[in-house]
Structure 1
Amino acid sequence: MGRELSVVGGGVVGLACALAATDAGWSVTVYDAGPSTRAADVAGGMLGCLGEGHPGEDRLLDVSSQSASLWPDFLARLGDPAVRTATDSVLIGASSTDLAYLDDQVAFVRDRLPAAALTRSTASELRRAEPALGRGLVGGYLAEGEGAVDNRLLIEALTEALREGGAQIVEAVVDDPTALPGEHVLIAAGLGSAALAAVAGAPVPVHGEKGEILRLRRTRWSVPPPSHVIRGRRHGRPVYLVPRADGVVVGATQYEAQGPDDRAPQAVGVADLLTDAIAVMPGLSSYELVEVAAGIRPCSADGLPVVQRIDDRVLVATGHGRNGIALAPWTASRAMGLLA
């Protein structure tokens, strides 16, 4: 009783950790520097691990699988069914080479997760599940249980749950986490976590990877948004289409950021995303392009999230890369274990 925790960072990871602590009886204050600092504001919101498993990332797949098992209870805790936008995914290749890549990816996942619900399917079979898929595609897989959330509704639901639980959310930029009140301090400030950890005496090496997303809105003349997450591969380039209530989020570009303020979308990335998305789902050509944005994801050297103690008082949770939202429940669980 009477335990106090200050959380630096108002993104999904920080809010998820804060909610876990609030539910455990901690008095929690979240210091949020605003939407421009959140990688989660520029995200597709894909969950699970089946479509994200890549050969060589064994430990990351294990962590992702553990987090995927925690998502049903996590969503139930939030209590807002609108947060979830899809329950299954389609993995599809535009050519035989693209499909061979997916075959290798799925073989890796099945080797570590034998019970993975991945069904090899022809393009025609996948079109029966998702009729708006293009005719020029070769085939792929249906990934059951591999869903998605609306990233911005998720942040709203986490914020509401925290306030209802008695947590305080303060809009503030923190320069020195050791000056914050409370028995413990959790640094979960994305790319900014490295500098804050250095102030606390233990630098955490993370680097920024930039990625664009597009938000497309359905018009009265458009085909409906997909009911599945669509993970396409075309000419070796990945592209994903993630359902929203009024359209889709398109993404998948990923490259080294040129600094913490490198948030301007690049023309070539946007062009590739639009070209590949429309090839995978031609009906998107009648959608409205309502947002183009770029975000910077904090990445560790080995691709694994950094969730650890800096000292007896300060903890850090960062380095999630492209999996920040998917790994939020796992991170919250691990952070609570460290606090315990």
Structure 2
Amino acid sequence: MLERTDVVVVGGGIVGTAAAYQLVDRGIETVLVDEDRAGSATAAGAGIISPPTSSRRENDDWFAFAELAAAHYPALISSLEAAGIDDHGYKRGDMLSIARTPAEAETIETDLARAQRRGASVEEISPAEAEAAFPALSGVERALRFPDAGRVDGAMLTAALDRAARAAGLTAVDGRVEAIHTDEGAVSGVVVDGDRLEADRVVVAGGAWSGGFGDDLGCSLPVSPIRGQIVHLDGSDIFETPGDLPIVGSVADNYIVPWADGRIVVGATREHDAGFDPRITAGGVQTVLDSGLRLAPGLAEATFEEVRVGLRPGSPDGLPILGEIPGVDGAYVATGHGPTGLTLGPYSGAVVAQSIAGEEPTADLSAFDPARF
């Protein structure tokens, strides 16, 4: 292993890998260290890119950042494709937001007014149009169509970013960062599996495990795991072209994401008391299937394939923890994205890289300042 580098990125999920990619693209020597823990949120996530329909859509600070993050995707994908990487797992398409009860229809009305006020692309469509667009739906009361949504396979995009970054000079290390060292108020290096690696800067992007570095950096990083269980079905027998179907979300906060290979992803639980336990549970699977089949009864004949589990990094206020850590020169953090990591992750990595490179970040990060804790 190297003895010295400019930057160490801790965590090889979507956020850390995006940061590493952006850093080496700027000519900054970077080492990415990842332990490949069970329960990685990146690999399990459904990958919906649609800020106006997110569970966090009511928060203006989150939404403003999420809009920039969604807009970052096309340029990022173009850069990967220019490097000859086409298997990135990203696709643009429609998202439908569905109400099935009068109470849910009131939420649709609120969401429509909010989206229009913010200038988002949205139109109301009839229940019949919604059910024609996604034939497994039934009993739709009201529906909105968001044409600027997208979906991303988190594992595929992370692998694509990793390949591009390695081609640009990234050093990737399989291992565990056991400690971050500081000297006179500045980062001096890390310890990886017992070996010291000197560095001037470090980015903590360890997802749900990021909070363990708070003591090393003399700060509070109140990140806790939120377990999400997500069911994968095979819809090949009930849909002719699954990849052409829209994403579907219920205002009750469950969702269905179809993919071209026939997968139909149905999610998800949000379990705040499961700790670092990546198990699949009978109750979790039942919850996901019950809500999914309530939304789309036509999926009852789909083949059950698997369940994936991700431990999402949650913060006390539900907002990311993003930027330079106060009082420690060269220490940065990018975590706390909760269930919106695949929406925000690539852009979060980019703005941290901008800060490290001495550039003015392209987003206002004040609401996500680590110092607020």
Task: Provide the TM-score with structure 2 as the length reference.
Answer: 0.83
Is 1:249 the equivalent of 2:265?
yes
Q: CA deviation at 1:271?
A: 1.4
Q: CA deviation at 1:175?
A: 1.1
Which secondary structure does the structure 1 equivalent of 2:177 belong to? coil
Paired residues, number: 332
1:258 is aligned with what amino acid?
A: A
Is 1:211 the equivalent of 2:228?
yes
Note if contact 1:187-1:316 (Cα within 8 Å) is conserved in structure 2: yes
1:291 is aligned with what amino acid?
A: E
Q: CA deviation at 1:220?
A: 4.3
Structure 1 vs Structure 2 CA RMSD: 2.1
Q: Which of 277, 280, 286 does residue 265 from structure 1 map onto?
A: 280
Cα deviation 1:155-203 (Å, max 9, x = unaligned): 2211111121121111101111332332211110011111123223223
2:113 aligns with: 107
Within 2, Cα distance between the matches of 1:59 and 1:154?
Answer: 26
Note if contact 1:309-1:316 (Cα within 8 Å) is conserved in structure 2: yes
1:48 aligns with: 50
Q: CA deviation at 1:319?
A: 0.6
1:318 aligns with: 335
1:267 is aligned with what amino acid?
A: A
1:83 aligns with: 89
Contiguous gaps of at least 5 residues in structure 1:
none
User: Structure 2 matches for 1:58-97, cutoff 5 A?
Assistant: 58-79=60-81, 80=86, 83-97=89-103
Note if contact 1:84-1:149 (Cα within 8 Å) is conserved in structure 2: yes
Is 1:166 the equivalent of 2:184?
no
Within 1, Cα distance between the matches of 2:218 and 2:232?
Answer: 40
Q: CA deviation at 1:229?
A: 1.1
Note if contact 2:136-2:296 (Cα within 8 Å) is conserved in structure 1: yes
> Identity of paired residues, percent?
26
Moved beyond 6 Å, runs of 4+: none
Q: For residues 165 and 190 of structure 1, do their structure 2 counterparts lie closer, same or farther at Cα, with a shift above 3 Å needed?
A: same
Within 2, Cα distance between the matches of 1:54 and 1:97?
Answer: 19
Q: For residues 104 and 159 of structure 1, do their structure 2 counterparts lie closer, same or farther at Cα, with a shift above 3 Å needed?
A: same
Q: Which of 134, 155, 158 does residue 158 from structure 2 map onto?
A: 155
2:178 aligns with: 175
2:107 is aligned with what amino acid?
A: Y
Q: CA deviation at 1:42?
A: 1.4
Which secondary structure does the structure 2 equivalent of 1:238 belong to? coil
2:153 is aligned with what amino acid?
A: D
Is 1:132 the equivalent of 2:150?
no
Task: Provide the TM-score with structure 1 as the length reference.
Answer: 0.90
Within 2, Cα distance between the matches of 1:55 and 1:246?
Answer: 29
